[in-house]
Amino acid sequence: MKFKSLFAILLLFILFSCNAQTSENIKTVEVAAFAKEIKTTPKPQILDVRTPEEFATGHIDKAKNIDWQNENFVKNTEKLDKNKPVYVYCRSGKRSQKASEKLSALGFKKIYNLDGGYLKWNAETKTAQ
């Protein structure tokens, strides 16, 4: 019985440790902060994780489309530099959060997730013009 309790505690510790490490390198930021970051970063890695159809309807300038729902998502991200920041967005922020967590697990060091996604980006950047 003692062994099972110790094992359960150890398992929980490992799970929570991995979770904390994953979210540590992910920052969910508002549109203004996201825009500032991509503007001040030389050759930013901007990742649109929506479908190609969604991407075709409009996207952030210089974004690369790697569909989160595509089975080749991991393979397609191998071309990105894990040591440079990556700026991730989707339509509303849900897929990009999951994609950001996956990128973190794959070893990406600094990930910026756009809060509210392209919908919020589009709404806020159009009103700013």
Question: How many other β-carbons are positioned within 10 Å of the β-carbon of residue 96?
Answer: 30
CATH number, domain of 104, equals: 3.40.250.10
118 in any annotated domain: yes
Q: Report pLDDT for 18.
A: 43
Q: Tell me whether residue 14 is in a domain.
A: no
- As for how many domains the chain has, the answer is 1
Q: Would residue 18 show up in a list of annotated catalytic residues for this protein?
A: no
Bridge partners, residue 87, by sequence: 46, 112
Q: Which of 38, 66, 90, 114 is catalytic?
A: 90
Question: Which pLDDT score, from 0 to 100, does residue 110 have?
Answer: 97
- Structural domain containing residue 45: 26-128
pLDDT at position 20 over 90: no
User: What are the backbone angles phi and psi of residue 66, rounded to the nearest 5°?
Assistant: -130, 105
The model's pTM:
0.80
The CA angle 55-105-46, to the nearest 5 degrees, is 30
Could you give the strand order of the β-sheet that contains 26-29, starting from the edge strand earlier in sequence? 26-29, 111-114, 86-89, 45-48, 64-65
CB of 49 within 8 A of CB of 103?
Answer: no
Span 106-112, mean pLDDT? 97
pLDDT of residue 120 exceeding 70: yes
Write the pLDDT tens digit of every residue in 72-98.
Answer: 999 999 999 999 999 999 999 999 999
Asked whether residue 115 is domain-assigned, the answer is yes
Dihedral (CA of 67, 63, 122, 86) sign: positive
